[in-house]
C-alpha cells in the first residue's frame, strides 16, 4: 500500500496525501480527515525504506 493508492482511493493528489499523513500544512482539515480515514481503511503503514531514501539517511549502523 503506497500513498499513490491512498491518493487514488481518496480522490486527491499524492502530494496532498503526503502532507496529510505527515501533518504538514497545505491541506484543509476536511481533506486531511478524508485522507487519514482512507489510509486507515486501506491499512496504509509508513515504509521505513522509502522514508530513508527520501531523507538520504538510514538510521542504521553496520557492524563487521
The angle, 0 to 180 degrees and rounded to 10, between the axes of the packed helices 3-10 and 14-21 is 110
State the Cα–Cα distance between residues 34 and 40, nearest whole angstrom.
10
Q: Domains of the chain by range and CATH?
A: 3-55 (1.10.260.40)
How confident is residue 58, by pLDDT bands cut at 50, 70 and 90? Answer: low
Residues 6+ apart with CB under 8 A from 20: 27, 31, 32, 35, 36
Tell me the pLDDT of the chain averaged across its residues: 88
pLDDT digits (tens, 9 = 90+) for 4-30: 999 999 999 999 999 999 899 999 999
Amino acid at each position: 500500500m503506497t500513498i499513490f493508492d491512498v491518493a487514488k482511493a481518496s480522490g486527491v493528489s499524492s502530494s496532498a496525501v503526503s502532507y496529510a499523513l505527515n501533518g504538514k500544512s497545505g491541506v484543509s482539515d476536511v481533506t486531511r480527515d478524508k485522507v487519514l480515514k482512507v489510509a486507515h481503511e486501506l491499512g496504509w503503514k509508513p515504509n521505513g525504506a522509502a522514508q530513508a531514501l527520501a531523507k538520504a539517511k538510514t538510521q542504521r549502523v553496520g557492524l563487521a
